[in-house]
Structure 1
């Protein structure tokens, strides 16, 4: 058995996860730590955290049924799937199908790492998954898009509703606002995921060229765990926003986007040194939507509609909006994927599906017939 050593990366160490696996399957089982070590070094930090969390949930399910996890049967796993899918009455909160499948993958890995029979691969469990897919569907909830000018058909039209242009107008005229504007523009130009945005270092932003445009080096991303790196274009207006933020906050090195601490009355107290937490990106977007609404920038929008918008927004919303704007500009799928680091064309097409429905053949035919 190999020695326990820390996994290189964010926060989670091998010995901690070994403890979680051992707590699940019992102290007597011999864990293949070399297999576990290799898997964890290949997984992202988010996957490692999800692995631990999912094992905890499975362990709780087994304890409630008074069954040792090491002795779990396919029938027990199948019952868990039914509960998670909402098929059986249970105190379990129903989950999306993608979440259920992730749980089973991680639980199955734990059994295989302990050289135990994996109950998640049994035919009964496969059939229960099929039934759950039929009940829940496989369509994933998509973040509400934040496009540059909103939900418009013509990119030359004025900005409308919740959009990047209005969120930028809603930014405050102080350090907090300077950071927010730089973050919004960076997120749009790069279509950055939250993990990419918070990881941006001052050194990653290359100096502007003769026209004022710059480039962002992205050393690692969700689809580039090996760290090959990628580049994103930064417009002159984005480079100017970054320069204003850096000058005002006196940021010469280290993380570009940092926490801006405020007093009780909302005035700025200080700028932190550490990078923003990934979870803060969604909160910033939601705060700015509320600020835009308060400034009457969103047009006629009631409180109920505002709350629906806020609930549907996530850190991915601008990335979705970038994809839709590119489709509206008639950019090709390969060009969009290359520019914004997408590897799966199905993901990009899903982001553009709603926009395509409004501009596709059926929409053009309906408009033509309506004129007669």
Structure 2
């Protein structure tokens, strides 16, 4: 019989992945990248202006600008062109370079938006206009979309299935299958609570990893509310609320009791140390131990039997974006191994690889469209920036509840 022990320790006590040096602060990285792009004779930039601009940006935005800018600077160096101020003709050449490498239209548009933000940050374009807004650049983007099409690849949805799948059309991985694949140990309880809460609230991964114990508000009927202090579309922190089902609240409560978490981040890393059972080792007489044996004293004493032990170590810091994605894919593989989904061979590998941190949010959006909800209500519920964004994830399902389907379904059977 296994002995189970649960500890809460500082994350430094958990095994750590190797990292190449200390992480550079995102502000410092962005400033270093922009400095590398500026010509030596560039006029002085307002330090206060840069400081306030950085304060207004989310860290994820600054990291994305730095990464995209690195790519542009590398292309300029290889092609012997000046990064800043960018020349519109050079931007068109850069767009064609990206297209030749197979980059999608959405990536090209994002790269131009990144360069526009970087130019504004150092005061370029305030009077003369941004090079990214030049008609030549806009035409190049439009031509790329005509050639390639504007449809974006989206994350594979993790829909609920079951009661929300009356037409029987949800194939592949579902929330119900993944919940059934979660074990009953500390890691499995955490994973089940993570999946259930992330689906009910339609959380972005940044919102999911930021969820804390004091953000939960149980309701009298067993359901709950989750406070979302800040999100991608709420950078100023006005805050919003999401509804949680009674099932989710029960799963979260079981996880909190099992882990001993009373405050702070809701979902944390779980370290697992498994030790096998060992049979008793009887003491050996001195003359029976070979002369070159190391640790011969232990053989003289012998060792008592020990039972198998599993130790779970709960960290203090929240899960990372990469950690959440790894959890989804690990559980999906477990669901496939348990026969909970009908996918095999290369299709299984592709289906697991298609899952991402956005899969729960896409799944709930599609389930709501399938249930007949309109785009405006879904956008409001899931904190989308506009109904158009929600429709992008459920355009096929939304057709079943549009005006034509509602009216004609009554007369054309």
SS of equivalent residue, structure 1 residue 330: coil
CA–CA distance in structure 1, aligned partners of residues 91 and 105 of structure 2: 15
Aligned twin of 1:111: 119
Aligned twin of 1:128: 140
Q: Is the 8 A contact 1:25 1:114 kept in 2?
A: no
- Aligned-pair distance for 1:346? 0.9
Aligned twin of 1:343: 385
SS of equivalent residue, structure 1 residue 134: helix
Q: Is the 8 A contact 1:201 1:254 kept in 2?
A: yes
CA–CA distance in structure 2, aligned partners of residues 254 and 139 of structure 1: 40
Aligned twin of 2:250: 240
Aligned with 1:201 (options 202, 207, 212): 212
- Aligned-pair distance for 1:274? 0.6
Range 355-364 or range 252-261, more displaced: 355-364
Aligned alpha-carbon RMSD (Å): 3.0
1:170-229 deviations in Å (ceiling 9; x for gaps): 0011000000000011011101110000001111011x2222111100000011111010
Q: Is the 8 A contact 1:220 1:226 kept in 2?
A: yes
CA–CA distance in structure 1, aligned partners of residues 275 and 359 of structure 2: 29
- Aligned-pair distance for 1:359? 7.3
Aligned twin of 2:37: 24
Aligned with 1:295 (options 338, 344, 348): 338
1:147-180 deviations in Å (ceiling 9; x for gaps): 111697517x798641111100000110000000
Aligned twin of 2:158: 146
Q: Is the 8 A contact 1:175 1:268 kept in 2?
A: no
Aligned with 1:216 (options 215, 223, 226): 226
Range 187-196 or range 95-104, more displaced: 95-104
- Aligned-pair distance for 1:244? 0.7
SS of equivalent residue, structure 2 residue 61: helix
1:287-316 deviations in Å (ceiling 9; x for gaps): 1111100000113x2222211211221111
Given the superposition, is the C-alpha separation of residues 158 and 125 from structure 1 closer, same or farther in structure 2, using an over 3 Å criterion?
closer
Given the superposition, is the C-alpha separation of residues 85 and 265 from structure 1 closer, same or farther in structure 2, using an over 3 Å criterion?
farther
Aligned twin of 2:259: 249
CA–CA distance in structure 2, aligned partners of residues 159 and 114 of structure 1: 49
Aligned twin of 2:108: 100
Give unpaired runs (5+ residues) of structure 1. 1-9, 87-92
- For the pair 1:181 / 2:189, whether they are aligned, the reply is no
Give unpaired runs (5+ residues) of structure 2. 1-22, 277-309
CA–CA distance in structure 1, aligned partners of residues 313 and 31 of structure 2: 41
TM-score (ref. length: structure 2): 0.77
Q: Is the 8 A contact 1:32 1:113 kept in 2?
A: no
- Aligned-pair distance for 1:33? 3.0
Kindly tell me the number of residue pairs found equivalent between the two proteins: 351
SS of equivalent residue, structure 1 residue 223: coil
TM-score (ref. length: structure 1): 0.85
SS of equivalent residue, structure 1 residue 69: coil
- Aligned-pair distance for 1:263? 3.7
Q: Is the 8 A contact 1:176 1:268 kept in 2?
A: no
CA–CA distance in structure 2, aligned partners of residues 152 and 232 of structure 1: 19
Aligned twin of 2:287: none
Aligned with 1:69 (options 83, 97, 112): 83
